[in-house]
Amino acid sequence: MLSFYAKQFSTVEINHSFYRMPTENLLLQWAKTVPEGFRFALKANQQITHIQRLRNCESTLKRFLEVASVLNDGDHLGPVLIQLPPTFKFDGPLLEDFLALRPPTFHFAFEVRHASWYTEETYAVLRQNETALCLSETDKQTPPEVLTTGFTYARLRLENYTPKQVAVWRKRFDSWLGKGVDVYAYFKHEDAGKAPAYARQLVGKTN
């Protein structure tokens, strides 16, 4: 399925890495299945974000990034998604300390799910650390259109999208691409299989 998917799209978000620490062999197997330049966005392991909650996680993060780095061959490594729990409230000093651990060769996208994070203070720290604010659209939340680095990361999580809603996102993405901003965008995986159809609309594929 990955081989077929990679002929349709240029990137995929990996949720597996959140639940289980990936291995080099697994990532190398995936890399062999896709064309050069196809990129995997890995969700950071829950040990980092939900158990240690960004604190004292240097060794865990280092190991995660060591594994992820095998995807650099063939230009297969996309951003690392740092997704915080919904109850995780704003903590500026902790954010700065955590982002200071990011090696410059890695791109981080930061997904917050508590309203206290949506402030200029957060955006300033992300900009200083060249980290993208994840634009996560859900039934409960409309993300701010804030760019904090040279790429953006959008998680389009509504259960249903109309052609007009997809077109609105396409217009935003085209505008950002025109300014030299790379765009990583992913629709929600669900059993009905609507997400691939939405993605094809987004990238302008009709067959």
Residue 190: what pLDDT? 79
What pLDDT was estimated at residue 191?
Answer: 79
In a domain, 110, yes or no: yes
How crowded is the C-beta side of 38, counted as CA atoms within 13 Å? 21
DSSP E strand stretches across the chain: 11-14, 39-43, 77-83, 108-111, 132-137, 151-156, 182-187
187 inside domain? no
Which tokens sit at 137? Answer: 């659209």
Q: Tell me what pLDDT residue 206 has.
A: 58
- pLDDT at 117 (0 to 100): 97
3-state SS assignment for residue 201: helix
pTM: 0.96
Reported as a single tens digit per residue, the pLDDT across 87-100 is 999 999 999 999 99
Domain assignment present for 67: yes
d(CA 13, CA 71): 14
Task: Answer whether residue 200 is part of any domain.
Answer: no
Longest pairwise C-alpha distance within the chain: 49
Residue 112 belongs to a domain: yes
Burial 32-67 (b: 16+ CB within 10 A, else e): eebeeebbbbbbbbbebbeebbbeebeebbeebbeb
96: which 2 tokens? Answer: 């700065």
Asked, for residue 204, whether it belongs to a domain, the answer is: no
Q: Which strands form 182-187's sheet, in the order they lie side by side?
A: 11-14, 39-43, 77-83, 108-111, 132-137, 151-156, 182-187
CA torsion sign, 168 to 174 to 177 to 182?
A: positive
Q: Is residue 27 part of a domain?
A: yes
Assess if residue 90 is contained within a domain. Answer: yes
Q: Which residues pair with 12 in a beta bridge?
A: 40
Which domain covers residue 123, as residue numbers? 2-145
Q: What is the pLDDT along the chain (207 residues), one digit of tens a residue?
A: 999 999 999 999 999 999 999 999 999 999 999 999 999 999 999 999 999 999 999 999 999 999 999 999 999 999 999 999 999 999 999 999 999 999 999 999 999 999 999 999 999 999 999 999 999 999 988 999 999 999 999 999 999 999 999 999 999 999 999 999 999 999 998 778 899 999 999 998 755
Q: How many domains does the chain have?
A: 1
DSSP state of 85: P
- Domain CATH for 44: 3.20.20.410
